[in-house]
A and B are shown apart, each in its own frame.
Chain A
Amino acid sequence: NAGVMQNPRHLVRRRGQEARLRCSPMKGHSHVYWYRQLPEEGLKFMVYLQKENIIDESGMPKERFSAEFPKEGPSILRIQQVVRGDSAAYFCASSHSGTANTEAFFGQGTRLTVV
């Protein structure tokens, strides 16, 4: 049973370009969470999705950021017109149920560098 798969592992974008980060949850998991880890900081919750639905996007910046989790395929975190401040590690986690005590399994992250 493969774990949470994120790709790419490393992504370099020039300012103004778009970044697309992909996350395939563990088999059987229908709940996906995205977190951002800025340098020297802890992880900050961004968005919680179930298949085809955004449950909570309270941690997402209001502009340029969007996320989806389609019926088929991976979850996508999309950052438009990237700026240097978007450079960070982005982690995806998945769980098999929507209860708060369910363990969330993390991917290895995508490290985005904006140059």
Chain B
Amino acid sequence: AQSVTQLDSQVPVFEEAPVELRCNYSSSVSVYLFWYVQYPNQGLQLLLKYLSGSTLVKGINGFEAEFNKSQTSFHLRKPSVHISDTAEYFCAVVKEETSGSRLTFGEGTQLTVNP
């Protein structure tokens, strides 16, 4: 079985500051990795995903994440955040050798950007 740990439940930052949201995973098999964002009372929107190749992945809204296999991490970063980035962020994995996109999610990190 696989599991995902998001190390911070809440991250408050000031506008234009950099931010890093941490994600570690545990799995006995190879996985694909995803970051989703959830705005209040909305569904989830894909920010970025790592399938293979370059370990630095760029996504929408200026976010990027780096896959580190030795540390089993997939931390999300943004060099300068905006008020509109305030949302819940979820890290997720899915086993490579499986059918369907059955995601295992972390508990989420609430990012709050203050003026």
Contacts and interface: CB of A to CB of B under 8 A. Distances in A.
Interface of A: 4, 6, 31, 33, 35, 41-45, 48, 55-56, 91, 93, 95, 98-109, 111
B42 interface: yes
A56 B101 CA distance: 11
> Which interface residue of A4, A101, A107 has the most chain B CB atoms within 10 A?
A101
Contacts of A91: 43-44
Contacts of A45: 102-104
Contact of A4 (B43, B97, B105): B43
Given A42-B107, A108-B42, A33 B100 contact: yes
B43 A95 contact: no
B49 A43 contact: no
Nearest to B104: A45
